[in-house]
Chains A and B, each alone.
Chain A
Amino acid sequence: MDKKNNHDYLSAIQERFGSEVLAHEESFGMLNVELTPSKIHDAIAWLQADQELSVNYLTNIAGVHYPEALGREFAVVYQLHSWKNNIRLRIKGYLPKENLHIASITDLFDGANWMERETYDFFGIQFDGHPDLRRILNMDDMDYFPMRKEYVLEDATREDKDDRFFGRNNIEQ
C-alpha cells in the first residue's frame, strides 16, 4: 500500500471541509492548514477517526500572539502526526482578541488537557469544554497572560541592573 503524502491529506481535508479551509501551505515539508476555528474540533475528530488518514498522535498545541494582525491576533496551532503514513500536519485557527474561544479537544486526546491549560496560562485562550481550565505553570493569582507580546520578560522587582546596560529601554516599543 502506498503511503499517503501531504497532497493527499490536503485534498482530503479540502474535499471534506471545502470553504472552511481558509489557507494552506507547505512549509519545510510540513502541511499547514488554516481552518475556521469553530470547525477545528470536528476536523481533528474526523482526521483521527478516518481509517486511511489515521492521525493518531497529538504532538503538541501551541498558542501564538500576533498583536498587529487585526481580527486574528491569536493563533492556536495543533501539530498532529499520523504514524501510519508518517505525515506531520499542522492545523491552525486564528482568533480575534475579543473572542478567544475555541473548542477543547480533550475528548479526543487526553494529552490535550495540560497542553490547553498551558496555552490558556500563557495566552488566555479559552478552551470550551475543557474539564479543568486553570493556570498550570504560573501562580494562580497571576493577573495577566505572560506570553502575550505586550508584557515584559524581566522581573519587575530587580533593582541591581542598570537598564541602559542591558538594552532594555527600547525593547518593548
Chain B
Amino acid sequence: MSQETKETILSPDPANIATINFGPTHPSTHGIFQNILKVDGEKIISSEQTVGYIHRAFEKLAERRPYNQITPITDRLNYCSSPINNIGWEMTVEKLLGVEIPKRVQYMRVIIMELARIADHLICNSVIGVDAGALTSFFYPFSEREKIYELYEELSGARLTTNMGRIGGFERDFNPVFHQKLQSFLKTFPKAFEEFDSMLARNRIFMDRTKGAGPISAERALSYSFSGPNLRATGVDYDVRLMNPYSSYEDFDFIVPVGVNGDTYDRFMVRQEEIRQSLRIIEQAYKNLPEGDYKADLPDFYLPPKAEVYNNMEALIYHFKIIMGETELPVGEVYHAVEGGNGELGYYLISDGGRTPYRLQFRRPCFIYYQAYPEMIKGMPISDAVLTLSSINVIAGELDA
C-alpha cells in the first residue's frame, strides 16, 4: 500500500468531501460550462469554473473585418438577444463618425431592442422553470417567443442571428406585415405572459425552491461589477438606459424594477417585471413612431439600393467604396454601452483610421458576473446551484467571446 493511500485510510476526512464534475455537458447547464464542485453530501463546499469552451476569438476576428461586417460577430455574442448587440455596435460606429440619427430610426431601434429583451428574459425565465421541474413553463412561452422571431424575420429575414440594422439605420422600413404582426403581438402577448407569470410567480413550490437560492449582496455584486437584472435583483437600480440614455430612451416612461435579496426568485421577478416594462416602452414607441426616413443620410457607410447601383454612377462609386473599405474614418477611442439582456454590454473601439478596428473589445456582462458564481453557490445544495446557474443567465457565446 502506498504512503498516500494509507494516509487517506488512516485519517478519513470527517466531512466526506467528494469532488464532482458539473458539466461540461450537463442537462442543466444549457450550454457548455464546467464546474468542479467539492461537495459534502449535497452541500457545496467550494467550486471552480472552467470557461472558454466555445472561445471563438471574436476580438481577433473583429480586427480583420470592416466595420459593416462586424454585425455577424456581435450577433453571436448573446444570441438570445442579437438585435441589441447589433444595434449597440452600430451606435458605437455612429458615435465614432458623429452622425445624427433620425428620430424614427431611434424609435424603431427601441422597439426592436425591447422585443429582443423580452425574448432574452423569456428564455431565461422559462428555463428557470424547467430547472425547477416545470416543463410547461418552457413550452408555453416558447410559442409566444416564436412570434418575436417572426417579427425579426419580417425585418431582417433571419430568426436568431438577425444581422439587424445597418450603420445609420435599418436595411428596410417596417413593412405592413410587420405592423400587423406587431399589433397582434402587443394584443395577445400580455395575456399569454400573465398566464405564464401566474404559473410560477406565486407558485408555492417554485417559491420554496427559488427563494434564498444563490443570493448575493449588493456590495459583493458591485465589487464583482455585476450589471443588468442580476445587479438589480440585489437592490441596485443601475440601468444604462437611464444612466446614459441612448437612442432616445429618455423619451419613454418606464420603471427600473429592483429586488431585495439578490436570490434566484428576485432575479426571476426582476426579469418578469422588465418584460412588462419593455412592453410599455414598445407601446409608447410604436404609438409615437415619428414619420421620416428609416436610415440616416450616410452614403459612406450605408449601401445604396441595388437598383441605383446599376443605374447611377454615384451610387456605384459608394457601393464600391463601402465594399472595398475605402472610406476615411476618424481616429479615436470610443466606448459605448447599451443595456443588453444581461447587463451593460459595452464596445470599446480603438480606430486608427483604417478599414478595420485597430482594437475592439466587448464588455461582456456574462463573463464578468459569472466569476461570482462560486461565491453564490457556496453552502447551497447542488439543486440550488443548478437553479442559480440558469437564473444568472450565462450565455456561452457572450461568456467565451
Q: Does chain A have a CB within 8 A of B306?
A: no
Q: Complex: how many Å from CA A17 to CA B64?
A: 38
Task: Report Cα–Cα, A60/B60, bound state, in Å.
Answer: 18
Q: A30-B335, A138-B52 are in contact. Are A114 and B222 (CB under 8 A)?
A: no
Which of B161-169, B250-258, B342-350 interfaces with chain A? B342-350
> In chain A, residues 105-125, which have Cβ atoms closer than 8 Å to a Cβ of chain B?
109-111, 113-115, 118, 122
Give the segment of B72-80, B181-189, B198-206, B367-375 that binds chain A.
Answer: B367-375
Sorting the interface of chain A by its residue count into under 10, 10 to 19, 20 to 34 or 35 or more gives: 35 or more
Of A59, A77, A88, A146, the contact of B57 (CB 8 Å cutoff): A146
Q: Does B248 contact A (CB under 8 A)?
A: no
Chain B: minimal CB distance from A77 (Å): 7
Tell me the smallest distance from the CB of B338 to a CB of chain A, in Å: 13
A139 vs B57: C-alpha distance when bound (angstroms): 13
Hey, which chain A residues are within 8 Å of B243, CB to CB?
83, 86
Main secondary structure of the interface of B (DSSP, over half): mixed
- A7 to chain B minimum Cβ distance, whole angstroms, is 19
Question: Once the chains bind, are A115 and B368 in contact (CB under 8 Å)?
Answer: yes
Contacts of A99-156 to chain B: CB distance below 8 A: 109-111, 113-115, 118, 122, 135-139, 146-147, 153
Q: Are the CB atoms of A32 and B225 closer together than 8 Å?
A: no
Complex formed: what's the CA distance from A113 to B223 in Å?
11
Question: Which of A90, A111, A118, A135 is in CB contact (< 8 Å) with B333?
Answer: A90
B57, B337, B371: the one contacting A111 at CB < 8 Å is B371
B69–chain A nearest beta-carbon distance, Å = 13
B residues with CB within 8 A of A:
51-52, 55, 57, 59-61, 63-64, 95-96, 220, 222-226, 238, 243-244, 332-335, 337, 344, 346, 348, 350, 358-359, 361, 363, 367-372, 400-401
Q: Which 6 residue pairs of A and B lie closest in terms of their CB atoms, listed nearest first?
A: A111-B225, A137-B52, A137-B55, A60-B363, A62-B361, A111-B224
